[in-house]
Amino acid sequence: MAWPQSVLLVGCGNMGGAMLAGWLASGLEPARFTILDPMLDQAPDGVELLREPPDRRFDAILLAVKPQMLEKLAPGIAPLAADGAVILSIMAGVELASLASRFPGAGGFVRIMPNLAAAIGKSPVALAASGLDQAREDAVTRLMDPLGTPEWLENEGLFDLVTALAGSGPAFVYRFIDALAAGAGELGLSAETADRLALATVEGAALLAAASPHEPGELARRVASPGGTTQAGLDVLDADEALARLVTATLRAAAERSAEMAREARGE
């Protein structure tokens, strides 16, 4: 069996649960996973659920709790990593150095930024690591493959921006879908019809963009005919770069909050 043969999920809320669902849907054996979560009602079939840290070791430990909980949880989790377990963390703003200081016996550290689409194998998965050799990095990539598209970052300093784009981005897309539907409703469609058409439009556009050899900007140009209906709408979005400026400001706010959370985790 490929590494890791045993994975402890510390916390199994929305994001941790989505990752576990993606792994199980891909065919990974439930027995490879153990959940440590005092609040979870039940675990998926075949996955062990614990309320307190066990007296045994794991190949990898996934920290899937809120960043504010790290200080309290770390002393109880550190002994489980004392024999070289790899620490995987999806905690926004918690840097690799912060993980290393709290889990000195671990065999390496990986920051991960997925989103909820991991449950269906369609998530971007940003990765940054320290203390891993190439073989172990490759094994981490294989572990993340069932969740979507793993992407190793050039340096950890990019994580705040990637958190804004890949982690928070789905919420921004959902807002745009909602705005499309609301706009159509304001102009005369029933709310139910507007919701269905807006969702189907975005779903089809995303699938086509993923399969197309062309960049999204080029696809937009190909949909639009000079002087046509699409171009009339694009002219509104493009006026004074309104959409581009709004999206940049949105990502900047999310990235700055991620950086602020990192400073809070360092006690600054």
Comparing 265 with 32, the larger pLDDT belongs to 32
Query: What burial letters (b/e) apply to 18-47, b meaning 16+ CB within 10 Å?
Result: bbbbbbbeeebeeebbbbbbeebeebeeeb
- Is 163 contained in some domain? no
CATH number of the domain where residue 230 is located: 1.10.3730.10
Instruction: Reply yes or no on whether the pLDDT at 125 is more than 70.
Output: yes
Could you report the per-residue pLDDT of 67-111, keeping only the tens digit for each?
A: 889 989 999 999 999 889 999 999 988 999 999 999 999 999 999
- What is the domain count for the chain? 2
Asked if residue 111 and residue 209 are part of one domain, the reply reads no
CATH number of the domain where residue 113 is located: 3.40.50.720
Which one of 128, 157, 186 terminates a domain? 157
Query: What would you report as the CA-atom Rg of the chain, rounded to the nearest whole angstrom?
Result: 21
Q: Which band of pLDDT confidence, cut at 50, 70 and 90, is reported for residue 140?
A: very high
Mean pLDDT of 146-166: 93
Would you say the pTM of this structure is higher than 0.75? yes
Could you report the per-residue pLDDT of 171-208, keeping only the tens digit for each?
A: 999 999 999 999 999 999 999 999 999 999 999 999 99
Percent of the chain as helix, strand, coil, to the nearest 5: 55, 15, 30
Q: With beta carbons less than 8 A apart as the criterion, state whether 39 and 141 touch.
A: no
Provide the residue range defining the domain that includes 237. 169-261
* Alpha-carbon span 15 to 198, nearest angstrom: 26
* Alpha-carbon span 28 to 30, nearest angstrom: 6
pLDDT at 1: 64
